[in-house]
Structure 1
Amino acid sequence: MTTAEKISQELEKVLTGDAWYGPPVYETIDKISFDIAYERPANGAHTIAEIVLHMLGWTLEVAERMSGSKAGLPSAGDWPDPGAPDEERWKTIIDDLKLANVRLIGLIQNVPEQKWGELTNDDRNEPGLGSGVNYEQLINGLIQHHVYHAGQIGILNRMLGGVV
């Protein structure tokens, strides 16, 4: 199995498959009603809508890095404002996350084997910021990012009284 096949399978598993840790990302997100998605938890924690937009932004940024673009923050910012509660907007945010991951998986599947060990286009050397890493580490980092935030979303959904 090539690195591209292995990594794209891992990403698909956490998004839609039989993930070892629990429900996959989309199963978790698809259960969230728009009113719960926009409800602000206690102590100023991020809303679910903010978290999903954050995940979308970083998925798009990683896709740009996979295409050779210089590393940076997501073009819409690290924590974009989802705006006022809006059911159609919530559906669009979810659809956009799914489409961004489909695009990313397509990019992953076309990466030549020798490129996976190369460093991404980044002048910084700060691994905690997702920089100074090779292409394989970049995608593995995004997979971890998706899992982390899916766990947050699941907990917030329960705390806010959403459907479990």
Structure 2
Amino acid sequence: MSSTLQLAKRFREVLLDGLWIANTNFKDQLKDVTWEQATTKIGTLNTIAMLTFHIDYYIAGLVNVFEGGNLEIKDKYSFDLPPIESQEQWETLLNKLWNDAKKFASLLEQMPDSKMNEVFVDEKYGTYLRNIDGMIEHAYYHLGQITLIKKLLN
């Protein structure tokens, strides 16, 4: 299996359908979260909605680059979640995450393995491989937070 296919599989595991590393994934953890739960603040922790927005912000930013666009995301905006005041708004955010994640994995599968060693946008960001691995690790980090916050809410 090519390295891009393996990376796409790992990415799907954490976001959409895997059980291998954490025995869960974003889709599984978020499937039964209501908008009220998603926006409930516990102490100084980010809300589930904020973490969901945050991870999608980076996925969508990388998708833009994969599609030939510029790297337009900035860390300082990665938690700028618009207010969520209904189940419909929460589900819209979730659907955006699922669609962006599917697109990310699909675009990754289409890349040649040789692309993984190319510079990602600018040398300061390293290679495509470094950024894709970073995205997967970043997703697992926040998946753990979401799992713990759900337990605290229950």
Structure 1 residue corresponding to 2:152, chosen from 141, 146, 159? 159
Contact 2:4–2:113 (CA<8 Å) still a contact in 1? yes
Aligned to 1:58: 58
Could you list the runs of 5+ residues in structure 2 that have no partner in the other structure? none
Which amino acid letter does the alignment assign opposite residue 135 of structure 2?
L
Separation in structure 1 between the aligned mates of residue 46 and residue 130 of structure 2, nearest angstrom: 27
Query: Structure 1 or 2: larger helix share?
Result: 2
2:26 paired residue number: 25
| Cα separation, 2, equivalents of 1:60 and 1:105 | 11
Structure 2 counterpart of 1:42: 43
1:22 Cα deviation after fit: 2.3
Whole-angstrom CA distance in 1 between matches of 2:85 and 2:76: 19
Structure 1 residue 70 displacement after superposition? 3.7
Superposed CA deviations along residues 6-31 of structure 1, whole A, max 9, x for unmatched, are 11111112221222222112101113
1:145 aligned onto 2:138 = yes
CA offset digits 1:32-70 (Å, max 9, x no partner): 121110111113x21111110111101001112323434
- Per the alignment, residue 128 of structure 1 pairs with none
Secondary structure of the corresponding residue to residue 42 of structure 1: coil
Tell me if structure 2 keeps the 8 A contact 1:34–1:87. Answer: yes
Name the counterpart of 1:80.
Answer: 80
Whole-Å separation in 1 of the counterparts to 2:39 and 2:49: 6
Local SS of the residue matching 1:22: coil
Is the contact made by 2:38 and 2:48 (CA closer than 8 Å) also made in structure 1? Answer: yes
Maintained 8 Å contact 2:60/2:100: yes
Deviations 1:78-106, CA, capped at 9 Å, x for gaps:
11223043110011111100000111111
Change (3 A) 1:60 1:117: same
TM-score scaled by length of structure 1? 0.85
SS of aligned partner of 1:39: coil
SS at match of 2:117: coil
Distance (whole Å) between structure 1 residues aligned to residue 32 and residue 140 of structure 2:
16
Distance 1:115 1:81 in 2: 32
- Opposite residue 121 of structure 1, the aligned amino acid is V
State the AA in 1 paired with 2:143: A
How far apart, in 2, do the equivalents of 1:75 and 1:102 lie?
23
